[in-house]
Amino acid sequence: MQATAFSPHDHTHCISSAITHAKGLCAERDVRLTPVRQRVLELIWQSHKPIGAYELLASLAKEGFNSAPPTVYRALDFLSEQGLLHKLESINAYVGCCNPDTPHQGHFLLCQVCHQAQELDSQYITLALKVSADQHGFEMHHHTIEVVGTCQECLNKANMSEAT
């Protein structure tokens, strides 16, 4: 099995590599990762649990940033345009993207128990959808797939507590 958001891992590494990656991309594209944009990205990467805009606003306010909603929404728009995050429509929350170099659609596994999200390598899913959409002469613009279920870790925990 692949290393995932669900299995225990050194998450500080996820955060630092996401931020380093974002800085590199923004420099390459000649766009500015302002302090508030960077902080929003760090807050999103705080964990693999998708985070809502209100929670972000509250954290920024506590830290003394300009936390007016437009500031936060503009930062979210920027990060989304740069492919650094995905929005999960069903729960109205944001999650960091693991592969911001190449534009792609968001495909996620969402665990209903621990509420973490794992992004799926998506090219085959997109291709399968495109083939199906083509059959209807339909031009696809964007989509997000959110698969709700239970992760391996939570399944193991449930099995363990059943056994005792």
Is residue 114 at the binding interface for Zn ion, with CB under 5 A as the rule?
A: yes
Name residue 110's amino acid.
L
Q: Which of 25, 53, 113, 129 forms a contact with Zn ion (CB under 5 A)?
A: 113
Q: Which of 53, 91, 154, 157 forms a contact with Zn ion (CB under 5 A)?
A: 154
Comparing CB distances to Zn ion, the nearer of 57 and 79 is 79
Is residue 97 at the binding interface for Zn ion, with CB under 5 A as the rule?
A: yes
* Dist. CA 26–CA 146, nearest whole Å: 28
Q: Which of 11, 23, 32, 130 forms a contact with Zn ion (CB under 5 A)?
A: 11
Can you name the residues that pair with 149 across neighbouring β-strands?
111
Comparing CB distances to Zn ion, the nearer of 19 and 114 is 114
Q: Which stretch binds Zn ion (CB under 5 A): 49-57, 104-112, 126-134, 141-149?
A: 104-112
Angle between helical axes of 53-62 and 69-81 (0-180°, round to 10): 120
Is residue 151 at the binding interface for Zn ion, with CB under 5 A as the rule?
A: yes
Is residue 88 at the binding interface for Zn ion, with CB under 5 A as the rule?
A: no
For the chain, helix, strand, coil in percent to 5 are 45, 15, 40
Beta carbons of 57 and 68 less than 8 angstroms apart: no
